[in-house]
Chains A and B, each alone.
Chain A
Amino acid sequence: MPDANENRVLETELRQVLDFAPQLVAVFGPERKRLYANRPTLDYFGLQLEEWQAISDPFWFFHPDDRERMASDVYTVRASEVAHEFEARMRRHDGEYRWFLFRDNPLRDERGRVTRWYLSATDIEDRKRAEDQLRIAADELQRVMSSVPDSLWSAEIDEQGAWTYRYYSPAVEKITGRPTSFFLQDPSAWFGIVHADDRKRVAIAAERLMSGQVEQAEGEYRIIHSNGEIRWIRDSGVARRQGTRLRIDGVVSDITERKRAEDALLRSEAYLSLAQRLTLTGSFAWDAKGGSDNYWSQEMFRIWDFDPADGVPSPKRSLERVHPEDRDKLKEYLERALSHPLSVTRAKDDRVVFGDGTVRHVPIPKRDSGTPQEVLGSTARRKEQAGSDLGSIDFRLMMPNESLKYVRGIMRPVLDHVGECIQYVGTNVDITEQVRAEEELRASEARFRTLVDHAADSILLRTEDGKLVDVNQNACESLGYTRDELIGMTPRDLVDPSEDPAFFRSVGERLNAGEVFAFESRFRRKDGTVLPVEVRVRPFWQHGQRFFLAIARDITDRKRAEKEREHLRQLEAELAHINRVSIMGEMTASIAHEINQPLSGVVSNGSACLRWLAADTPNLEEAREAARRIVRDGKRAGEIIARIRALVKKAATPMAQLDLNETVAEVLALMADEAKRKGVMIRTEFAEDLATVLGDRVQLQQVVLNIVMNAIEAMSDAPSKQLLITTSNEAIQVRVTVQDRGKGLDPGETEKIFEPFYSTKSGGIGMGLSISRSIVRNHGGNLWATANDTGPGTTLQFTIPQYKEGSIGGS
């Protein structure tokens, strides 16, 4: 135990020690009575000990933000009276607050009561700042990392080869759609998202890196994003050995967009190449400075027939392939092309795309205080000054196999930003087919002209204003004018003045309405004679102008023929009439009987009627019946007479839609008695659904009459007098057959019977069948005879086309 003096010395020494200590130290008595503060403490506050001791507020020095915390902490702790630490800010004498680490230790007496508090405070302001800075730096790094699109990663491989990820930057989530934890938890997770097709490649690269074969590796491969999309990424890694471990740091970048752009470029190149192939257009670029920066597209090689493997042929080699006669022409064109520069195409900002497709930044010359646009404008102006359009040049190539190729070339120099020629660019088009087609067209035109000139009709072409612009040889010959005389004339000059002008006005109106139509007219020749013509006019448009094409046919012969035909037709009608009347004559007895039948009925019924009425009790019912029958029979007689009258009438009946069953049945009604008289049984087999025909009823009935009369006649000596009449539908015709069981015809007779004045009958004039055939043919049908297949006899049959809506009948 040291004595009091010794203690005092020691206390002084301790105080000195405390005064030199870097920490602030203060001693408090119970109840936190301020007993002592060392020099640094007093210096910090800028107080004397007495002043310090006099401070009553225990939190007086603390930062206002810390006071509350201090109050609660310190008081609470004091209550428990144990040693403790805390951090807080204290105000320095100059007003600056600094962070301190406080250590509060109580001293207790033998009874355990706290007699003293020793409080030391260490200035931690600088450490705090460093910590803050570090945290800010780390935050910033984190922010930077999350803002860059690329993801950084770091991995470690231990001596066993186990792969552990140490870090993945958050950007990985944007690239893969998965959080960093996904990859950090499972080292094989990354490999799992690699596209199956690329996995092997990635595995090999990773293996080479891990095994130390390479220190650096990079590759582009596909991964599957969590949303299912395929993403192209570029992954690179650098390996570093750290003792026994290998550390690999890598960067993953999403290059999907770049890949897409590349694909698009590839596609666009493919399309361009295809377009060139399809249009037979090759493109090329020549280095103006004689360098090797030459380009020929694939199609160029194909057109010129050079092997792309040999590279772009030299100008000399190319020129040798040009047809000798065209070489000078081509050289001259190339020289001219020099004065027709091609302006560059402006892109964004100060970048421009040059004719060769390269993109360069154009520095704006200092002396030229203009924008890039203005600089380029000056080039464009220069081009304009160069004047007229250069156009293209057509030349021929002599191919190795001696065939000729026609090529159309266009070439322009490309200037750089200062107007200096750097390149010639251009295209070559294989126009062989076109040239051939044009030649063919010219030949075809010549042929066509010959054709038109030699046409049997006059062809006249006029414009809308009425002036003739072209005529053919025939028009000149038939009108008696020369071609030059005709061109410029109007159709009105050619038409006979006696023609109705009103008609021509209507013709004009109809033509203007775009109608195509034909009419008959008369032309007046140069010598004044008149020419009957049939004119067919059609308007048409060509190159926005309307033309009228008139084809005029000389119908002098036709008119004459028409007259003759008309005359013949009348003769024929006369003959047909005579024939009908004569048949009727032959049938007189039958007809008389036919009328006699109803007449007898009338007489009998009349008598009966009178008698019924005259009876003692008149039988009115019977009388009425009899009277009714008189009316009926009278009508019947009238009908027979009407039928006969129709047949012997001379006037032609109009063409009408006819049911041949009905038409034939009417004739048979007339002939029933004739047949009966001759002992002939007439049987009919009529098609129920027989199509109608367009015809002259009387004429067709005459045909049936002739045929049936002949058939009855033919059977006069036959043992079985049966006549079968059938009607049937053919494909587009209606057929009527009349089959007799007569003696039949000799093989040579089947055609002869249709000749005029040929008759097998003793009393016939031999016109019946001839007229019948003429009638049938005028109806567009045919009439012929055949021997019966089975048994004796002849079959006569005729066909008439079926009626169709809108069809125009024969004759």
Chain B
Amino acid sequence: MFKREDVPTKKNINGVLIDLTDDEIDEFVEKLNTPEVDERPYNEKRLSEYPSIDELIVALWEGVVEERMASVTALEAGRQAVKTKYPKP
């Protein structure tokens, strides 16, 4: 939780420093302490947290060519965790 002493007490307007009012400081602290609502659609949320294409290719290569499945298994677990985190509506 952020407190008043944790945040700046000034703003910069066209290069000029201006003291925040008490109300502005309170409003800023309240905003920081309010969890952000992520309004992106589920597929965008998933895409932003899926493993990268590079990681997938390396894991697939290791699994298919080198018959080492550890990376594939780990990545698949990660992908399923992301899907669970952002379920399809």
The answer to whether A and B belong to the same complex is no
Residues of B near any A CB (own CB < 8 A): none
Residues of A near any B CB (own CB < 8 A): none
